[in-house]
Amino acid sequence: MSTLEKLDPVTLEVLRNALPAIAADMATDLLRTSYNMMIYEVQDFCCALLDREGRLIAQNVGGVSHFVADLGVIIKDGLNRYGADGFQRGDVIITNHQRVAGQHLNNVCVYSPIFAEGKLEGFAIVRAHWVDVGGLSTGFSAASMVSDPWMEGLQLDQIKIYEAGVPDDKVLRIITDNIRYPEASMGDLRAQVAACKMADRRYGQLIKRYGADTLDRAIERIFDDAERKCRNAVARLRDGVYEASSFLDPDSPGADNVPINIKVIISGEDMTIDLTGCSQERKSALNGRTLAGAYIAYKGLTGPLEPVNEGSFRALKVEIQEGNFMMARFPAVMASWSRMLPSVVDTILKALAPAAPERIPAAHLGTLGGSMTFFGVDPRNARKFILQTIEGGGWGGRPYEDGESAAVSVCQGDVRNNPIEAVELKTPVRVVRRELRNGSAGAGKHRGGFGQITEMTNLGEGRWSASNAGRRKFPPWGLNGGRSGTSSINYMRLSSEEPFKPFDPVRIMCAPGATVRVETAGGGGWGSPLERDPERVLNDVLDEFIDRDAARVDYGVMIDPVTMRVDTEKTKSLRTQMAAETKQPEGGAR
């Protein structure tokens, strides 16, 4: 009998739940003590525990999904830099450098070693979105204006800001002096440090109660169990080689469409995701250094509701080469590091649709969401402010139900938009409307989710930025006969006397009264629209999600304008005609 099999099952289950609870408590500490709305409202962060080798033990539930692939590499790089003997209790290290886990520089990692009885046992880490790290980083990186990493902002490369519990005031002063919102960013830094300290205490309590050896054996068992569950999930898929392609919009004037070519190989309980056919490094900021696209798709297929740890990805092999735009080499510009990830996930799932037709949805909004940033000086109190929010869009229809509406991308965990009350209370901005984007969902037996319209007017002078692009030429696709959703678009007007015009503002200085409107994409539909229950089409009309013309043209459903009921005979006749014209299956009236 092996050592792992001798582990007491009750103790194992206690520790299986205690470790993610520490990461969850870290998140609670961070939410309660952070200074910027991107953390305590939008929740653009993750908290995690890693072992002494940099293997992921636990991440907080709801932590940003596209951070999960890039925490271990940070710790391993720190171990290479300092050595296992180069850490002391009370050390705090900060890093956001793009050479290791290439992201936009606002995503700042703060981590600290965990010691018990003088021995290094692991690390606690928090990655969170700072409002500013200098350069053009304010809010979200002004990617279209960034031509090198130094232009984007401060690059902090595995810097010890605390040594043995003593802060390095010189380093902290350098950071403070080079960012526009030091109160917010340094407050967030202190919140990250506090979360790591709490994890140190809690992890130490587990070791004191159960012993380091028992905890180590439990972690190995937890990894093994997660791997086994994932292997079992893959084994239920059909063996084969599956391929799919998609495109991102051109990333600069005169550039070609950006290709995403995916190959997925399933053999028994093993899965390989081959990304080598994707675009090479871009001259624009559309680069990153991450395996997150493959990890997110794999996790969604194998255990979407299971806690995440190192074992969750042991059975996955990712093929990607250096110089791929998702494995770009520093100093490639990486300010738009995450823009490709939702489309990569969608394309992986698209490839696997023949292997699991009962599980794979149509494409969702295809970007991280509609981001809006406005910053300046508040005329009400003469204090600097910054507004940031991420507006959700439509998810794809599924084989068994409609897609979700106004949700952020699959890459973002529990990230949400900034509440209207917080926006208007803390910044000189009025939220004119935030509503579903009617008519944006792709038609289908199970339609896509609806995008969202968010419109804001500034009451004081400041600079607007809005990003909502990525796949405007290539809207969220449908599956199995479903239709595409509607692409995203932004509008802006400089005063109430002017009309709205399509525009993507980037740090545009505006006088009071300018208005920005972001309209996010709708999800693709799943299945033929002619197979959708006419009563469900009627409900969408009554709810004003679509109009009667769309019901007729897209779904073949005739609704009596007087009674506002489905005309069964006319619907059956129209659907028969449409099915004959398009050679689609006839759903008929029900």
> Of 178, 209, 227, which one is at a domain's C-terminal end?
227
Q: Which two tokens stand for residue 196?
A: 């790591």
Interval 375-397 mean pLDDT: 96
User: Average pLDDT, stretch 11-39?
Assistant: 96
Asked, for residue 412, whether it belongs to a domain, the answer is yes
The answer to whether position 195 is within a domain reads: yes
Select from 206, 227, 248 the last residue of a domain.
227
Is residue 34 located within the same domain as residue 182?
Answer: yes
Name the H helices within 446-586.
Answer: 534-542, 548-555, 568-582
Identify the pLDDT of residue 63: 84
Kindly give the pairing relationship between strand 383-391 and strand 489-493. Answer: unpaired
Rounded Cα–Cα distance for residues 455 and 132 (Å): 24
Residue 401 sits in the same domain as residue 517: yes
For the segment 516-533, the average pLDDT, to the nearest whole number, is: 98
Q: What is the pLDDT of residues 201-249, one digit of tens each?
A: 999 999 999 999 999 999 999 999 999 999 999 999 999 999 999 999 9
Is residue 461 domain-shared with residue 560, that is, in the same domain?
Answer: no
Length, in residues, of the chain = 590
Q: Give the other-Cβ count within 10 Å of 400's Cβ.
A: 10
* Domain termination site, one of 187, 212, 227: 227
Cβ burial of 564 (10 Å; 0-12, 13-18, 19+) is exposed
Residue 545 and residue 397 share a domain: no
Average pLDDT, the chain: 95
Predicted confidence at residue 68, as pLDDT, reads 87
On whether residue 507 sits in a domain, the answer given is: yes
Please give the pLDDT value at position 469: 83
pLDDT value at 586 more than 90: no
Question: Are residues 24 and 129 part of one domain?
Answer: yes
Torsion, CA 252, CA 255, CA 256, CA 257, rounded to 10: 0
Measuring CA to CA, which residue among 448, 467, 426, 372 is closest to residue 144?
Answer: 467
Q: Is 81 part of any domain? A: yes
The answer to whether residue 380 is domain-embedded is yes
Of residues 568, 394, 579, 420, the one with CA closest to residue 485: 394
Domain assignment of residue 567, yes or no:
yes
- 413/537 same-domain check: no
Interatomic CA distance for residues 525 and 531, integer angstroms: 12
Count Cβ atoms below 10 Å from residue 161 Cβ, excluding itself: 19
Residue bearing tokens 């050679």: 583
Closest-CA residue to 483 (of 393, 571, 553, 554) = 554
If asked whether residues 29 and 85 sit together in one domain, one would say yes
Give yes or no for residue 588 having a pLDDT over 50: no
pLDDT tier at 281, thresholds 50, 70, 90: very high
Q: What range does the domain containing 424 cover?
A: 361-527
Task: Kindly state whether residue 334 falls inside one of the protein's structural domains.
Answer: no
* Residue 469 and residue 534 in one domain: no
534 and 502, same domain (yes or no): no
Question: Taking residues 16-21, what's their average pLDDT?
Answer: 97
Nearest Cα to Cα of residue 152 among 165, 139, 166: 139
**Beta-sheet strands, E only, within 313-405:** 316-319, 370-378, 383-391
Report how far residue 490's alpha carbon sits from residue 478's, in angstroms, rounded to the nearest whole number.
Answer: 23
Higher-confidence position of 404 and 117: 404
pLDDT (tens digit per residue) in 83-137 = 999 999 999 999 999 999 899 999 999 999 999 989 999 999 999 999 999 999 9
Given a cut of 70, whether residue 415 has pLDDT beyond it is yes
**Same-domain status, 165 and 37:** yes
Nearest alpha-carbon partner for 139 in 36, 242, 237: 36
Lookup result for tokens 């190192």? 310
Residue type, 268: G
Question: pLDDT confidence of 589, banded at 50, 70, 90?
Answer: very low
How high is the pLDDT of residue 585? 53
Query: What does the alpha-carbon distance between residue 578 and residue 586 come to, in Å, rounded to a whole number?
Result: 8
SS3 category, 20: helix
Asked if residue 152 and residue 117 are part of one domain, the reply reads yes
What pLDDT, on the 0 to 100 scale, is given for residue 474?
96
Q: Which pair of structure tokens corresponds to residue 182?
A: 């030091």
How confident is the model at residue 468, as a pLDDT?
A: 87
The stretch 486-498 carries a mean pLDDT of: 96
Report the pLDDT averaged over residues 273-288: 97
E-strand stretches of 428-478: 429-437, 451-458, 462-467
On whether both 23 and 119 belong to a single domain, the answer is: yes
Total domains present in the chain: 3
* Whole-number percent of the chain with pLDDT over 70: 98
pLDDT for the residue 1: 35
pTM above the 0.85 mark? yes
Amino acid at 353: A
What is the rounded distance in angstroms from the CA atom of residue 490 to the CA atom of residue 391?
Answer: 12
Residue 94's pLDDT is 98
Average pLDDT (51-70) is 93
Angstrom CA distances, 537 to 22, 272, 368, 421, stand at 46, 40, 29, 34
Q: How far is 39 from 31, CA to CA, in rounded Å?
A: 7
Q: Is residue 427 part of a domain?
A: yes
Q: What angle do CA 365, 367, 369 make, to 5 degrees?
A: 85
Residue from 49, 68, 57 nearest 291 by CA: 68
User: What percent of the chain is modeled with pLDDT above 90?
Assistant: 92
**pLDDT tier at 152 (50, 70, 90 boundaries)?**
very high
Task: Give the three-state DSSP class for 55.
Answer: coil
Q: Compute the half-sphere exposure of residue 88: CA atoms within 13 Å on the CB side of its CA.
A: 9
